[in-house]
Structure 1
Protein backbone atom coordinates (compact mmCIF):
# COMPACT_ATOMS: atom_id res chain seq x y z
CA UNK A 1 0.00 0.00 0.00
CA UNK A 2 1.35 3.42 -1.00
CA UNK A 3 -0.45 6.54 0.19
CA UNK A 4 -0.80 10.07 -1.15
CA UNK A 5 -2.48 13.13 0.33
CA UNK A 6 -4.79 15.36 -1.68
CA UNK A 7 -5.35 18.81 -0.19
CA UNK A 8 -8.51 20.00 -1.92
CA UNK A 9 -9.33 23.70 -2.31
CA UNK A 10 -8.09 24.94 1.05
CA UNK A 11 -7.89 28.47 -0.36
CA UNK A 12 -8.58 31.94 0.95
CA UNK A 13 -11.72 32.25 -1.16
CA UNK A 14 -13.15 29.06 0.36
CA UNK A 15 -11.91 29.48 3.95
CA UNK A 16 -10.99 33.07 4.93
CA UNK A 17 -13.67 35.20 6.58
CA UNK A 18 -13.63 37.56 3.60
CA UNK A 19 -13.42 34.77 0.98
CA UNK A 20 -15.62 35.02 -2.09
CA UNK A 21 -17.33 31.64 -1.44
CA UNK A 22 -16.26 30.91 2.10
CA UNK A 23 -17.30 28.19 4.49
CA UNK A 24 -15.84 30.54 7.11
CA UNK A 25 -15.37 29.42 10.67
CA UNK A 26 -16.02 25.70 10.07
CA UNK A 27 -13.26 25.70 7.43
CA UNK A 28 -10.94 27.75 9.64
CA UNK A 29 -11.48 25.34 12.53
CA UNK A 30 -9.84 22.46 10.62
CA UNK A 31 -6.64 24.40 9.90
CA UNK A 32 -4.56 22.86 12.70
CA UNK A 33 -5.61 19.29 11.95
CA UNK A 34 -5.16 19.73 8.20
CA UNK A 35 -1.70 21.20 8.77
CA UNK A 36 -0.80 18.26 11.03
CA UNK A 37 -1.80 15.73 8.35
CA UNK A 38 0.12 17.74 5.75
CA UNK A 39 3.26 17.84 7.91
CA UNK A 40 3.05 14.11 8.64
CA UNK A 41 2.93 13.29 4.92
CA UNK A 42 5.74 15.77 4.21
CA UNK A 43 8.02 14.45 6.96
CA UNK A 44 7.54 10.92 5.60
CA UNK A 45 8.17 12.16 2.03
CA UNK A 46 4.82 10.82 0.84
CA UNK A 47 3.29 12.46 -2.22
CA UNK A 48 1.12 15.50 -1.55
CA UNK A 49 -1.12 16.99 -4.21
CA UNK A 50 -2.59 20.47 -3.84
CA UNK A 51 -5.71 20.30 -6.03
CA UNK A 52 -6.74 23.92 -6.41
CA UNK A 53 -9.85 25.31 -8.08
CA UNK A 54 -9.09 27.91 -10.74
CA UNK A 55 -11.40 30.16 -12.72
CA UNK A 56 -10.82 32.82 -15.33
CA UNK A 57 -12.32 36.26 -14.79
CA UNK A 58 -15.67 36.72 -16.58
CA UNK A 59 -15.75 33.13 -17.89
CA UNK A 60 -19.28 32.86 -19.29
CA UNK A 61 -18.86 29.21 -20.30
CA UNK A 62 -17.85 27.60 -17.02
CA UNK A 63 -20.82 25.66 -15.56
CA UNK A 64 -20.25 27.12 -12.07
CA UNK A 65 -20.76 30.68 -13.35
CA UNK A 66 -24.53 30.39 -12.92
CA UNK A 67 -24.25 28.52 -9.59
CA UNK A 68 -21.75 30.49 -7.51
CA UNK A 69 -20.28 34.00 -7.30
CA UNK A 70 -16.85 34.48 -8.92
CA UNK A 71 -14.18 32.77 -6.82
CA UNK A 72 -10.63 31.41 -7.06
CA UNK A 73 -9.87 33.69 -10.00
CA UNK A 74 -6.43 33.04 -11.46
CA UNK A 75 -3.81 35.47 -10.12
CA UNK A 76 -5.80 36.58 -7.07
CA UNK A 77 -5.12 36.22 -3.36
CA UNK A 78 -8.28 34.12 -3.20
CA UNK A 79 -6.43 31.20 -4.84
CA UNK A 80 -3.63 31.12 -2.29
CA UNK A 81 -3.84 28.42 0.34
CA UNK A 82 -5.28 29.50 3.65
CA UNK A 83 -3.20 30.17 6.77
CA UNK A 84 -0.66 27.55 7.83
CA UNK A 85 -0.98 25.67 4.55
CA UNK A 86 0.19 28.73 2.60
CA UNK A 87 2.99 29.23 5.15
CA UNK A 88 4.05 25.62 4.52
CA UNK A 89 4.16 26.26 0.76
CA UNK A 90 6.03 29.57 1.16
CA UNK A 91 8.94 27.76 2.83
CA UNK A 92 9.87 26.13 -0.47
CA UNK A 93 9.51 29.09 -2.84
CA UNK A 94 10.18 27.87 -6.38
CA UNK A 95 12.19 24.80 -5.24
CA UNK A 96 9.55 22.25 -4.31
CA UNK A 97 10.62 18.78 -3.16
CA UNK A 98 9.75 15.99 -5.61
CA UNK A 99 6.88 14.74 -3.43
CA UNK A 100 4.91 18.04 -3.58
CA UNK A 101 2.63 18.69 -6.56
CA UNK A 102 0.28 21.53 -7.59
CA UNK A 103 -2.75 20.78 -9.77
CA UNK A 104 -5.01 23.46 -11.19
CA UNK A 105 -8.53 22.05 -11.49
CA UNK A 106 -11.54 23.56 -13.18
CA UNK A 107 -14.20 21.12 -12.00
CA UNK A 108 -15.25 19.76 -8.62
CA UNK A 109 -13.19 16.57 -8.87
CA UNK A 110 -9.40 16.74 -8.67
CA UNK A 111 -9.38 14.04 -11.37
CA UNK A 112 -11.47 15.91 -13.97
CA UNK A 113 -9.23 17.43 -16.64
CA UNK A 114 -6.02 17.05 -14.62
CA UNK A 115 -3.07 14.62 -14.78
CA UNK A 116 -3.80 13.42 -11.22
CA UNK A 117 -4.55 9.80 -12.07
CA UNK A 118 -1.45 9.52 -14.28
CA UNK A 119 0.77 10.97 -11.54
CA UNK A 120 -0.72 8.62 -8.93
CA UNK A 121 -0.28 5.55 -11.16
CA UNK A 122 3.32 6.53 -12.05
CA UNK A 123 4.12 6.62 -8.35
CA UNK A 124 2.34 3.36 -7.52
CA UNK A 125 -0.14 5.08 -5.20
CA UNK A 126 -2.97 2.82 -4.06
CA UNK A 127 -4.63 4.84 -1.28
CA UNK A 128 -5.72 8.46 -1.15
CA UNK A 129 -6.07 10.60 1.94
CA UNK A 130 -8.41 13.58 1.44
CA UNK A 131 -8.48 16.85 3.38
CA UNK A 132 -9.83 20.32 2.62
CA UNK A 133 -13.16 21.79 1.52
CA UNK A 134 -15.97 21.41 0.71
CA UNK A 135 -16.87 17.97 2.06
CA UNK A 136 -20.08 17.67 0.05
CA UNK A 137 -18.78 19.18 -3.20
CA UNK A 138 -15.12 18.91 -4.22
CA UNK A 139 -14.08 16.35 -1.60
CA UNK A 140 -17.13 14.24 -2.51
CA UNK A 141 -16.56 14.36 -6.27
CA UNK A 142 -12.84 13.63 -5.86
CA UNK A 143 -13.62 10.69 -3.56
CA UNK A 144 -16.18 9.24 -5.98
CA UNK A 145 -13.77 9.53 -8.91
CA UNK A 146 -10.99 7.97 -6.82
CA UNK A 147 -13.28 5.11 -5.80
CA UNK A 148 -14.36 4.54 -9.41
CA UNK A 149 -10.67 4.34 -10.40
CA UNK A 150 -9.95 1.70 -7.77
CA UNK A 151 -8.12 3.77 -5.15
CA UNK A 152 -8.61 3.13 -1.46
CA UNK A 153 -9.90 6.18 0.40
CA UNK A 154 -9.19 7.73 3.79
CA UNK A 155 -11.21 10.81 4.70
CA UNK A 156 -9.90 12.84 7.63
CA UNK A 157 -13.23 13.96 9.11
CA UNK A 158 -11.51 16.49 11.37
CA UNK A 159 -9.69 18.00 8.34
CA UNK A 160 -12.63 18.41 5.93
CA UNK A 161 -15.47 20.91 6.16
CA UNK A 162 -18.26 22.66 4.26
CA UNK A 163 -20.52 25.70 4.39
CA UNK A 164 -23.43 23.23 4.49
CA UNK A 165 -23.55 21.34 7.82
CA UNK A 166 -26.18 18.86 6.58
CA UNK A 167 -24.25 18.23 3.37
CA UNK A 168 -21.05 17.74 5.38
CA UNK A 169 -22.67 15.09 7.61
CA UNK A 170 -24.34 13.39 4.64
CA UNK A 171 -21.03 13.22 2.72
CA UNK A 172 -19.14 11.71 5.68
CA UNK A 173 -21.78 8.97 5.89
CA UNK A 174 -21.68 8.46 2.10
CA UNK A 175 -17.88 8.08 2.10
CA UNK A 176 -18.05 5.30 4.64
CA UNK A 177 -21.19 3.45 3.60
CA UNK A 178 -21.19 3.85 -0.18
CA UNK A 179 -17.49 4.19 -1.04
CA UNK A 180 -16.04 1.97 1.68
CA UNK A 181 -13.76 4.78 2.79
CA UNK A 182 -12.08 4.86 6.17
CA UNK A 183 -13.38 7.98 7.90
CA UNK A 184 -10.80 8.83 10.55
CA UNK A 185 -9.90 11.54 13.04
CA UNK A 186 -6.52 12.09 14.61
CA UNK A 187 -3.58 10.05 13.38
Structure 2
Protein backbone atom coordinates (compact mmCIF):
# COMPACT_ATOMS: atom_id res chain seq x y z
CA UNK A 1 0.00 0.00 0.00
CA UNK A 2 1.37 3.41 -0.96
CA UNK A 3 1.41 5.62 2.12
CA UNK A 4 2.76 8.92 3.41
CA UNK A 5 3.44 10.38 6.84
CA UNK A 6 3.18 14.17 7.03
CA UNK A 7 4.88 15.92 9.93
CA UNK A 8 3.21 19.31 10.37
CA UNK A 9 5.26 22.27 11.64
CA UNK A 10 7.31 20.36 14.20
CA UNK A 11 9.74 23.25 14.29
CA UNK A 12 11.83 24.48 17.20
CA UNK A 13 9.87 27.73 17.45
CA UNK A 14 6.62 25.78 17.97
CA UNK A 15 8.08 23.13 20.28
CA UNK A 16 10.29 24.92 22.81
CA UNK A 17 10.81 28.34 21.23
CA UNK A 18 8.76 31.53 21.38
CA UNK A 19 5.52 29.73 20.49
CA UNK A 20 6.45 26.41 22.13
CA UNK A 21 4.60 24.50 24.83
CA UNK A 22 5.27 21.44 26.97
CA UNK A 23 2.80 19.16 25.19
CA UNK A 24 4.71 19.73 21.93
CA UNK A 25 7.97 18.55 23.51
CA UNK A 26 6.23 15.52 24.98
CA UNK A 27 5.33 14.05 21.56
CA UNK A 28 8.84 14.14 20.08
CA UNK A 29 9.61 10.46 20.81
CA UNK A 30 6.24 9.33 19.45
CA UNK A 31 6.79 11.23 16.21
CA UNK A 32 10.35 9.90 15.92
CA UNK A 33 9.12 6.32 16.34
CA UNK A 34 6.39 6.90 13.77
CA UNK A 35 8.97 8.20 11.26
CA UNK A 36 11.18 5.14 11.86
CA UNK A 37 8.18 2.83 11.38
CA UNK A 38 7.32 4.49 8.05
CA UNK A 39 10.97 4.36 6.93
CA UNK A 40 10.99 0.57 7.51
CA UNK A 41 8.02 0.34 5.12
CA UNK A 42 9.80 2.53 2.53
CA UNK A 43 6.89 4.96 2.78
CA UNK A 44 7.09 8.64 1.93
CA UNK A 45 7.72 11.05 4.79
CA UNK A 46 6.97 14.72 4.22
CA UNK A 47 7.28 17.83 6.35
CA UNK A 48 5.54 21.18 6.40
CA UNK A 49 7.53 24.20 7.55
CA UNK A 50 5.72 27.32 8.66
CA UNK A 51 7.70 30.15 7.09
CA UNK A 52 7.05 33.88 6.96
CA UNK A 53 8.76 37.00 5.79
CA UNK A 54 8.84 40.17 7.86
CA UNK A 55 5.49 41.15 6.33
CA UNK A 56 3.61 38.51 8.38
CA UNK A 57 2.28 41.15 10.76
CA UNK A 58 0.64 42.94 7.84
CA UNK A 59 -1.28 39.91 6.67
CA UNK A 60 -4.70 39.32 8.21
CA UNK A 61 -3.72 36.29 10.33
CA UNK A 62 -0.44 37.96 11.23
CA UNK A 63 -2.31 40.87 12.77
CA UNK A 64 -3.69 38.44 15.32
CA UNK A 65 -0.22 37.51 16.60
CA UNK A 66 1.65 39.77 18.97
CA UNK A 67 5.07 38.65 17.70
CA UNK A 68 6.61 37.60 14.43
CA UNK A 69 6.91 33.85 13.93
CA UNK A 70 9.15 31.64 11.83
CA UNK A 71 10.71 34.55 9.96
CA UNK A 72 13.39 33.28 7.61
CA UNK A 73 15.41 30.11 7.93
CA UNK A 74 17.12 30.44 11.31
CA UNK A 75 17.65 27.98 14.18
CA UNK A 76 14.10 28.37 15.54
CA UNK A 77 12.71 27.66 12.05
CA UNK A 78 14.37 24.23 11.78
CA UNK A 79 12.70 20.97 12.70
CA UNK A 80 13.01 20.19 16.38
CA UNK A 81 15.47 17.75 17.96
CA UNK A 82 15.55 14.17 16.69
CA UNK A 83 12.92 14.99 14.07
CA UNK A 84 15.44 17.29 12.38
CA UNK A 85 17.95 14.42 12.33
CA UNK A 86 15.36 12.03 10.86
CA UNK A 87 14.49 14.36 7.98
CA UNK A 88 16.35 13.14 4.89
CA UNK A 89 17.51 15.35 2.05
CA UNK A 90 15.09 13.71 -0.41
CA UNK A 91 12.01 13.95 1.85
CA UNK A 92 9.41 16.35 0.46
CA UNK A 93 9.35 19.58 2.49
CA UNK A 94 6.57 22.07 1.96
CA UNK A 95 7.21 25.68 2.92
CA UNK A 96 3.94 27.34 3.89
CA UNK A 97 2.95 30.80 5.02
CA UNK A 98 -0.57 29.86 6.01
CA UNK A 99 -2.18 27.23 8.20
CA UNK A 100 -2.44 24.71 5.34
CA UNK A 101 -0.10 24.08 2.43
CA UNK A 102 -1.50 24.46 -1.07
CA UNK A 103 1.73 22.91 -2.37
CA UNK A 104 1.02 19.84 -0.21
CA UNK A 105 -2.52 19.73 -1.64
CA UNK A 106 -1.15 19.68 -5.21
CA UNK A 107 1.47 17.06 -4.31
CA UNK A 108 -1.11 14.73 -2.72
CA UNK A 109 -3.59 15.23 -5.54
CA UNK A 110 -1.02 13.98 -8.07
CA UNK A 111 -0.03 10.89 -6.05
CA UNK A 112 -1.90 7.69 -5.38
CA UNK A 113 -1.50 7.41 -1.61
CA UNK A 114 -3.95 4.96 -0.06
CA UNK A 115 -2.99 5.95 3.49
CA UNK A 116 -2.12 9.48 4.63
CA UNK A 117 -1.13 10.01 8.25
CA UNK A 118 -0.48 13.35 9.92
CA UNK A 119 1.43 14.27 13.08
CA UNK A 120 2.72 17.51 14.59
CA UNK A 121 1.59 20.82 16.03
CA UNK A 122 -0.68 22.66 16.58
CA UNK A 123 -3.42 20.08 16.29
CA UNK A 124 -6.23 22.61 16.47
CA UNK A 125 -4.78 24.83 13.75
CA UNK A 126 -2.20 23.52 11.29
CA UNK A 127 -2.66 19.75 11.75
CA UNK A 128 -6.42 20.20 11.35
CA UNK A 129 -6.02 22.46 8.30
CA UNK A 130 -3.61 20.06 6.58
CA UNK A 131 -5.81 17.05 7.40
CA UNK A 132 -8.65 18.85 5.62
CA UNK A 133 -6.29 19.55 2.70
CA UNK A 134 -5.37 15.84 2.56
CA UNK A 135 -9.03 14.77 2.73
CA UNK A 136 -9.90 17.23 -0.04
CA UNK A 137 -6.98 16.24 -2.28
CA UNK A 138 -7.50 12.49 -1.77
CA UNK A 139 -11.14 11.84 -0.83
CA UNK A 140 -10.80 8.04 -1.28
CA UNK A 141 -7.67 7.72 0.82
CA UNK A 142 -7.56 6.67 4.44
CA UNK A 143 -6.60 9.79 6.43
CA UNK A 144 -5.24 9.08 9.92
CA UNK A 145 -4.15 11.19 12.86
CA UNK A 146 -2.45 9.43 15.77
CA UNK A 147 -3.47 11.25 18.93
CA UNK A 148 -0.11 10.40 20.57
CA UNK A 149 1.67 12.32 17.79
CA UNK A 150 -0.23 15.61 17.91
CA UNK A 151 -0.32 18.42 20.44
CA UNK A 152 -2.03 21.70 21.10
CA UNK A 153 -1.41 24.31 23.74
CA UNK A 154 -5.13 24.34 24.50
CA UNK A 155 -6.60 20.97 25.55
CA UNK A 156 -10.18 22.08 24.86
CA UNK A 157 -9.30 23.14 21.31
CA UNK A 158 -7.40 19.86 20.82
CA UNK A 159 -10.55 17.92 21.72
CA UNK A 160 -12.61 20.12 19.38
CA UNK A 161 -10.14 19.53 16.54
CA UNK A 162 -10.28 15.78 17.10
CA UNK A 163 -14.09 15.88 17.05
CA UNK A 164 -14.06 17.88 13.82
CA UNK A 165 -11.60 15.49 12.16
CA UNK A 166 -13.64 12.46 13.23
CA UNK A 167 -16.81 14.08 11.88
CA UNK A 168 -15.00 14.43 8.54
CA UNK A 169 -14.22 10.68 8.59
CA UNK A 170 -10.58 11.25 9.40
CA UNK A 171 -9.51 8.33 11.57
CA UNK A 172 -8.11 9.40 14.94
CA UNK A 173 -6.28 6.56 16.70
Secondary structure at the residue paired with 1:124? coil
Moved over 3 A (4+): 58-61
Q: CA separation in 2, counterparts of 1:131 and 1:60?
A: 27
Aligned partner (choices 41, 46, 50) of residue 53 of structure 1: 50
Which residue number in structure 1 is paired with residue 172 of structure 2?
Answer: 183
| TM-score normalised per structure 2 | 0.90
Whether 1:153 aligns to 2:143 is yes
Cα distance change of structure 1 residues 38 and 133 upon mapping to structure 2, 3 Å threshold: same
CA root-mean-square deviation? 1.6
Secondary structure at the residue paired with 2:93? strand
Contiguous gaps of at least 5 residues in structure 1: none
Whether 1:11 aligns to 2:20 is no
Secondary structure at the residue paired with 1:171? helix
Question: Shift of residue 20 of structure 1?
Answer: 1.9
Q: CA separation in 1, counterparts of 2:68 and 2:41?
A: 37
Matches of residues 78-157 of structure 1 in structure 2 within 5 Å? 78-89=76-87, 92=88, 96-97=89-90, 100-110=91-101, 112=102, 114=103, 116-149=104-137, 150=139, 151-157=141-147
Question: Shift of residue 15 of structure 1?
Answer: 0.4
Q: CA separation in 2, counterparts of 1:60 and 1:67?
A: 8
Deviates more, 1:57-66 or 1:134-143: 57-66
Question: Shift of residue 121 of structure 1?
Answer: 3.8
Which residue number in structure 2 is paired with residue 42 of structure 1?
Answer: 39
Deviations 1:160-185 (A, max 9, x none): 00111110111112211x1111111x
Contact 2:147 2:172 in 1 (8 A): yes
Deviations 1:106-143 (A, max 9, x none): 11013x3x2x2333344311331000000000011111
Q: How many residues align?
A: 170
Which residue number in structure 1 is paired with residue 18 of structure 2?
Answer: 20
Whether 1:64 aligns to 2:64 is no
Bigger proportion of residues as helix: 2
| TM-score normalised per structure 1 | 0.84
Contact 2:56 2:68 in 1 (8 A): no
Secondary structure at the residue paired with 1:41? helix
Contiguous gaps of at least 5 residues in structure 2: none
